[in-house]
Amino acid sequence: MVQKVAVIGAGPCGLSSVKACLDEGLEPTCFESSDDIGGLWRYKLVPGRTNIYQCVIINSSKEMMAFSDFPPPAELPNSMHHTEVLLYLRLYAQTFSLLQHIHLQVGELIFIRGRTSMRQDSGTWRRRRQTVGGRRIFGTALIMSFFFPFFLRSISGIESFKGRYFHSWEYRNAKGLEGKRVVVIGFGNCGCDIAVDISRVAERVYLSTRSGAWVVGRVGPGGLPFDTTWISRLVVTLSSLFWAQIPVINDDLPGRIISGRIQVKPNVKEFRETSVVFTDRSIIDEVDVVVFATGYNYSFPFLPPDLQAKSGYRLRLYKHVIPPTLAHPTLAVVGFIHGLGAINSMAEMQARWSTRVFKGLISLPAEDVMVKEIETETATMNQKFVCSERNPLQVDVIPYTDSLAEQVGAKPNILQLLFTEPALVLQVVLGPYTSYQYRLSGPGKWAGARQAIFAQKQRIARPFRTRAVSEEPGNEASSKLSILLAFITGAALLCYLIYNWHLPFFHSVE
């Protein structure tokens, strides 16, 4: 009998989960509470469950965020606006006929475990609300992660503050903030994006940070996307000790700081009626608006409480996916993961791994072994990364995804490829770490994967080709000269870096 799988949410992780089920011959039904697919990437003027602001541009470049068997259209820009991310998701859903498996506007869902007796877990899941499709029993469930805004209400005096304050979750655009004095609290990606956006119209923006961050631009060497140069198997292996904290991706922030439009401040100590006091005792008066870009907490309200056990700040999930305490491994959490890279490819691999666990093709260790592994991993994670309630977990993206891919049977065999296809190995090891490499072999092998890898540089270059450039001999000579100059500049830069121990394109804001 075909196993039925309930997939909750039709955001990027839900869509790739539906596809993973279909690829494995399972029968998915996806339940989406809103009226459309796309999750967070469907911009709504009125705040909904998941939200983005009007200016959001994706942090990872298009090739780095692509699903493993669906390269984005070459003509899309490398750093896509949220409308283009949504377009990509719609194309993905259409191409793989996912829409027919998705129910929209299903209302709130609660899943309860099926039981064969009072004590015996049957391993099935039953939907409690029956708005769509009547009573349904599912063999397995794939759920996405759900976040809610985290307010720093602990800062004293917020109740006496007479200005306006809100969480970044409510922010859409800078309308209404013209000429205002605004304090943005939080130096993460949202806080920095929003501070930059508001700083174009406000009188002044103050950006408060507790511990600073590395700020990285999207534009890397040669005008190419930064991540396609810096996130390769080789570079990441060589620099794995470098990233204790996920950097802030922002091209405009340094320019706004240097021009004084944004002033960086330390942590907020207290609020007064019209002013904000910082921990260095400096005070900003006549503050009109405070934006709490203080991140998100997660919650899985539809799950039984015993499955919400935590290890450190993270949920206690084996491989960050499956609760170890279930009598039957029939529930997986997909996309509850952070690392230096796009969530899409990690979540997609989690879904591929989960569906094979559901089918019994991957067997899990005994409960105590899984629990021990989770605790050890949590301890290592806490040592290596800056984890907190709002950044509950972080992984090294490549080793983590490889470890799942290995069990799926889709990890690229680099040693073997070295002998059979050395040109491909160069792309896989030195080229951008794109997810097509997980479709070269094994279950889910895609005939187009090899070509997708070889053509990724052309797809990256395509949006830059906006005009015809003449190929006159003069141009050739000047391009040779450019290469020579680039070489000399590179050598000089390297000497400078070694001397000063800095890396380009990174700005540390403390």
Ligand X SMILES: Cc1cc2nc3c(=O)[nH]c(=O)nc-3n(C[C@H](O)[C@H](O)[C@H](O)COP(=O)(O)OP(=O)(O)OC[C@H]3O[C@@H](n4cnc5c(N)ncnc54)[C@H](O)[C@@H]3O)c2cc1C
The footprint of ligand X (CB under 6 A) covers 8-14, 31-34, 39-40, 49-50, 52, 56, 58-60, 65, 106, 108-109, 144-146, 190, 302, 335, 342-343
Nearer to ligand X by C-beta: 104 or 235?
A: 104
Nearer to ligand X by C-beta: 334 or 429?
A: 334
Nearer to ligand X by C-beta: 13 or 429?
A: 13
Nearer to ligand X by C-beta: 49 or 210?
A: 49
Q: How far is the CB of 40 from ligand X (least distance, A)?
A: 3
Residue 248 DSSP one-character state: E
Nearer to ligand X by C-beta: 52 or 332?
A: 52
What are the backbone angles phi and psi of residue 67, rounded to the nearest 5°? Answer: -70, 155
Nearer to ligand X by C-beta: 395 or 417?
A: 395
CA dist., res. 142 & res. 6, Å (int): 6
End-to-end CA distance of the chain: 58
Q: How far is the CB of 278 from ligand X (least distance, A)?
A: 25
Nearer to ligand X by C-beta: 23 or 36?
A: 36
Pure H helices in 365-448: 367-384, 397-408, 414-420, 422-430
Q: How far is the CB of 398 from ligand X (least distance, A)?
A: 15
480: CB partners within 8 A, 6+ apart: none
Nearer to ligand X by C-beta: 65 or 155?
A: 65
Q: How far is the CB of 199 from ligand X (least distance, A)?
A: 18
Instruction: Name the nearest CA neighbour of 214 among 248, 184, 189.
Output: 248
Q: How far is the CB of 152 from ligand X (least distance, A)?
A: 17
Taking the CA atoms of 365, 371, 376 and 381 in sequence, report the sign of the dihedral they define: positive
Nearer to ligand X by C-beta: 42 or 265?
A: 42
Q: Is 25 exposed, middle or buried (0-12, 13-18, 19+ CB in 10 A)?
A: exposed
Q: How far is the CB of 156 from ligand X (least distance, A)?
A: 28
Q: How far is the CB of 11 from ligand X (least distance, A)?
A: 2
CA dist., res. 321 & res. 428, Å (int): 26
Q: How far is the CB of 339 from ligand X (least distance, A)?
A: 9
What are the backbone angles phi and psi of residue 460, rounded to the nearest 5°? Answer: -70, -40
Structure token digits, residue 298:
């997660």
Radius of gyration of the chain (CA): 24
**Beta bridge mates, 204:** 181
Nearer to ligand X by C-beta: 351 or 428?
A: 351
CA dist., res. 289 & res. 164, Å (int): 5
Residue 114 DSSP one-character state: E
**Is the Cβ–Cβ distance between 226 and 460 less than 8 Å?**
no
Q: How far is the CB of 347 from ligand X (least distance, A)?
A: 7
Nearer to ligand X by C-beta: 6 or 428?
A: 6
Q: How far is the CB of 178 from ligand X (least distance, A)?
A: 23
**Is the Cβ–Cβ distance between 289 and 165 less than 8 Å?**
yes
Structure token digits, residue 131:
């708005």
Residue 169 DSSP one-character state: G
Q: How far is the CB of 122 from ligand X (least distance, A)?
A: 23
Residue 283 CB neighbour total at 10 angstroms: 13
Taking the CA atoms of 321, 189, 187 and 160 in sequence, report the sign of the dihedral they define: negative
114: CB partners within 8 A, 6+ apart: 121, 122, 123, 124, 125, 126, 137
